[in-house]
């Protein structure tokens, strides 16, 4: 701020507070709704302060699920989401580190072809090629399995690109020194490149974890087996139960449970998250 203008300062704070209210209000409503019995949410206006059913509702959700929507315990769904998110995250980081290393530190025939092959994937979100991708998974027998949930999503141009950019900034002297000490490429990768990339890996981990946890369409297509449902796609069945059965308190409880892990990751590792987000998009 250049000069002192009290009025402008007040306006600034008002704008920020209004923004926060707009962003937080839906979650507040959901959180409150999840602590009431179903009947309290049957007529308008719904309560805006906490009810007394929080423990009962969440116990029911986590251990038994919502009977009207299949009755899968949310603990199972959250476990599936966790496996999927971690699988996607670790898989993406591992294969992109390797391929970025190959592209930056080696000269070999067809190098540019491979480079472009990887970058084309940047352009094609799953949503636009749903059917043929589904056919491929089906013919490989990967429907209803963790492999089917994870492997198709681990090819990532974004992560490869990020690591490539980072590797290019590492001084050549390190490679020269390593070669003078007779270190081979594997040794160089393991003892020098990997430790140097630690911060980047951590930042990327956060972004990819959120990406993996929040997958919706993919689990929707791949899983017909209830035991493999993930929480973000599982909520869709509760929404579609209809107006007749009052389960909004469960639906909102599910929404809260589904957003807790990724939101916690963002809040706990805010600095790394901002770094990861700003850098992975460049």
Q: Is residue 232 a contact residue for other proteins (CB under 8 A)?
A: yes
Among residues 75 and 95, whose Cβ is nearest to other proteins? 95
Q: Give phi and psi for 41, each to the nearest 5.
A: -100, 20
Among residues 55 and 123, whose Cβ is nearest to other proteins? 123
Q: Is residue 224 a contact residue for other proteins (CB under 8 A)?
A: no
Window of 50-58, 62-70, 71-79, 171-179 that interacts with other proteins by CB under 8 A: 171-179
40: tokens are 């309290």
Q: Is residue 60 a contact residue for other proteins (CB under 8 A)?
A: no
Window of 50-58, 65-73, 197-205, 265-273 that interacts with other proteins by CB under 8 A: 265-273
- Closest CB 64 distance from other proteins, rounded Å: 21
Q: Which residues in 245-264 contact other proteins (CB under 8 A)? A: 248, 251-252, 255, 258-259, 262-263
Window of 57-65, 66-74, 172-180, 192-200 that interacts with other proteins by CB under 8 A: 172-180
Residues 224, 209: Cα–Cα separation, whole Å: 24
Window of 45-53, 56-64, 66-74, 193-201 that interacts with other proteins by CB under 8 A: 45-53
State how far Cα 119 lies from the chain centre: 21
175: tokens are 């490679």
Q: Which residues contact 83 (CB under 8 A, 6 or more apart)?
A: 146, 149, 150
**Burial of 31: CB neighbours in 10 Å, binned 0-12, 13-18, 19+:** middle
Q: Which residues contact 33 (CB under 8 A, 6 or more apart)?
A: 41, 46, 47, 248, 249, 252
Q: Which residues in 100-159 contact other proteins (CB under 8 A)? A: 101-108, 111, 114, 117-118, 120-125, 127-133, 135-137, 140, 151-152, 154-155
Residues 74, 7: Cα–Cα separation, whole Å: 49
- Closest CB 227 distance from other proteins, rounded Å: 20
Q: Is residue 57 a contact residue for other proteins (CB under 8 A)?
A: no
**Degrees, nearest 5: CA angle 92-168-277:** 50
Q: Is residue 26 a contact residue for other proteins (CB under 8 A)?
A: yes
Window of 6-14, 58-66, 68-76, 194-202 that interacts with other proteins by CB under 8 A: 6-14
Question: Radius of gyration (Cα) for the chain, nearest Å?
Answer: 24
- Closest CB 60 distance from other proteins, rounded Å: 19
Which of 64, 138, 194, 217 binds other proteins (CB under 8 A)? It is 217
Q: Give phi and psi for 5, each to the nearest 5.
A: -125, 100
Which of 64, 138, 194, 239 binds other proteins (CB under 8 A)? It is 239
Window of 54-62, 69-77, 90-98, 196-204 that interacts with other proteins by CB under 8 A: 90-98
Q: Which residues in 184-213 contact other proteins (CB under 8 A)? A: 184-186, 188, 210, 213
Residues 105, 107: Cα–Cα separation, whole Å: 7
Please identify which residue in the block is written with the tokens 């990967």.
142
21: tokens are 């209210």
């Amino acid at each position: 701020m250049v000069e002192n203008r009290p009025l402008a300062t007040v306006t600034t704070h008002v704008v920020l507070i209004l923004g926060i209210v707009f962003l937080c209000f839906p979650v507040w409503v959901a959180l409150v709704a999840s602590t009431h019995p179903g009947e309290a949410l049957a007529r308008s206006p719904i309560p805006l302060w906490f009810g007394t059913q929080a423990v009962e509702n969440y116990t029911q959700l986590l251990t038994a699920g919502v009977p009207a929507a299949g009755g899968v315990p949310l603990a199972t769904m959250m476990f599936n989401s966790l496996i999927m998110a971690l699988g996607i995250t670790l898989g993406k980081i591992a294969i992109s580190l390797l391929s970025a290393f190959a592209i930056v530190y080696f000269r070999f025939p067809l190098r540019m072809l491979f480079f472009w092959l990887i970058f084309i994937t940047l352009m094609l979100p799953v949503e636009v090629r749903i059917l043929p991708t589904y056919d491929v998974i089906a013919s490989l027998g990967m429907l209803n399995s963790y492999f089917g949930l994870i492997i198709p999503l681990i090819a990532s141009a974004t992560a490869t690109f990020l690591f490539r950019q980072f590797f290019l900034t590492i001084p050549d002297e390190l490679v020269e020194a390593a070669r003078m000490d007779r270190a081979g490429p594997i040794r160089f990768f393991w003892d020098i490149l990997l430790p140097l990339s630690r911060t980047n890996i951590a930042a990327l981990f956060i972004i990819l974890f959120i990406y993996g946890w929040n997958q919706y369409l993919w689990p929707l297509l791949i899983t017909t087996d209830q035991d493999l449902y993930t929480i973000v796609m599982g909520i869709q069945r509760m929404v579609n139960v209809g107006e007749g059965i009052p389960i909004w308190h469960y639906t909102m409880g599910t929404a809260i449970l589904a957003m807790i892990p990724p939101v916690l990751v963002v809040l706990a590792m805010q600095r790394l998250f901002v770094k990861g987000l700003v850098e992975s998009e460049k």
